[in-house]
Structure 1
Amino acid sequence: MNTDEIEKYTELENQANQLIETVATENNCDPQDLKWWHISNYLENKHKIVLVPLNKNEFSTIIADNYGIYGLTLKDSRMAMICYNNECTETRQHFTVMHEIGHFLLHKNNQTYPSLMQENDYTEEDQIFEKEANNMAGMLLANKKAIQSLLNDRKPFNYLCKYFGISN
């Protein structure tokens, strides 16, 4: 990583940690006890985000080309709608929701963020946005404090994946 990438990563980590602390306080729990749904519930309640599970056919009512779509965020000045493919594995759904939340938090000037399986059509800026949303999703799914606590308890890798609801 170069200096700019390290600075951006640190900025993303700070934003993720702020949200984690806020959600933990709101839920009256330790940050290491947070799960992905605590974060999505908080944002649904506080920021007018609606999570919408859709299958492949339902996606076609929103966008014309739905090949390989995991999720997308649609927003306007009043609310945001995060749609995710409910035909994917649960762990993929968790990542997609946190990825789209990453777009919502980080890329406020853009209106819509399709998250496609194949990134061939992404512009250079889109690729940066996707990488940022991926990093944010990872940080929100498995926060540093929780990972460290589980590692200190010598929990195996598969345990961590199950604990956080993520794929190995």
Structure 2
Amino acid sequence: MRPNFKYIEDKAEDVLSKNNLFKAGFSVEKLAKLLRISLKEEVLDDNVSGFFVMTDTDNIITYNKKDGELRQRFTIAHEIGHFLLHSKDQPIFIDKTPSVMFRDNSSSTGEDFKEREANAFAASLLMPKKLIEAEIEKAPNDVDDAIIFLAKKFKVSQQAMTFRLSNLGYGI
């Protein structure tokens, strides 16, 4: 059973609204910049999509250069979720030792609650419920075509859109 992540929906909508980015397909890079998070693109191991490092002087999201654009967008949104939801849980080390949160293959299994929250935040951020409700009216009637249409509109993978619609109760 899926936990109630309404607080995450609200947090994602709030951050988008406050930063004038409440629209489908917004720039996650621009949001990171507005939140004072540095982005670094690097070649990472195949099983690591990205990670968030917080030090006493900087917040950095590093994402895998080898991943496709849509995966990179989701990874950045996921790591922004860690920043907004969990950074107060992690100590900021004065001795320059960073606090690190990884997004890897196990992140998508939903076994770790913070990873599940970060995934829910990324989905809510990239595919806000209110915008999905507005755009679904414009989508084709065929389910597969609707998923393709919405995925392109929100700049996410078809798999991410399918999960999001299912989690919103669209019976996909």
> With structure 1 as the length reference, what TM-score do the two structures score?
0.76
**3-state SS, counterpart of residue 118 of structure 1:** helix
Tell me the residue number matched to 1:54.
42
1:149-164 to structure 2, matched below 5 A, reads: 149-155=134-140, 156-164=146-154
* Structure 1 residues without counterparts, runs of 5 or longer: 57-65
Is the CA contact 1:71–1:96 (under 8 Å) kept in the aligned structure 2?
yes
Residue 71 (structure 2) pairs with residue 71 (structure 1): no
Structure 2 counterpart of 1:167, from 132, 157, 162: 157
Whole-angstrom CA distance in 2 between matches of 1:67 and 1:149? 36
CA-based RMSD of the aligned residues comes to 2.1
Report if the CA contact (8 A) 1:36-1:98 is conserved.
no
Summarize deviations over 1:118-139 as a string: whole Å, max 9, x none: 35xx9x6xx0010000000000
Aligned to 1:118: 106
**Identity of paired residues, percent?**
27
Decide whether aligned partners of structure 1 residues 154 and 118 sit closer, same or farther in structure 2, where only a CA change above 3 A counts: closer
Q: Is the 8 A contact 2:139 2:150 kept in 1?
A: no
How much has 1:21 moved relative to structure 2?
1.3
Instruction: Quote the Cα distance in structure 2 between the aligned partners of 1:94 and 1:50.
Output: 14
Distance, in Å, in 2 between the alignment partners of 1:95 and 1:36 is 12
After TM superposition, give the deviation of residue 42 of structure 1 in Å: 3.1
1:84 paired residue among 46, 63, 71: 63
1:16-55 equivalence runs, <5 A: 16-24=12-20, 31=22, 33-37=23-27, 39-45=28-34, 47-55=35-43
- Structure 1 segments, 4+ long, off by >3 Å, are none
Offset of residue 77 of structure 1: 2.7
> Partner residue of 2:10?
14
Pairwise CA distance, 1:67: 5.1
Give the number of equivalent residue pairs: 142
Distance 1:78 1:36, change over 3 A: farther
Taking structure 2 as the reference length, the TM-score comes to 0.74
Structure 2, gaps ≥5 residues long: 91-98, 141-145, 159-172
Post-superposition CA distance 1:65-112 (Å, at most 9, x none): x45110000012322010000111111111100001100110012221
Change (3 A) 1:67 1:86: closer
Aligned residue in 2 for 1:59: none
Judge conservation of contact 2:32–2:39 (CA < 8 Å) in 1.
Answer: no
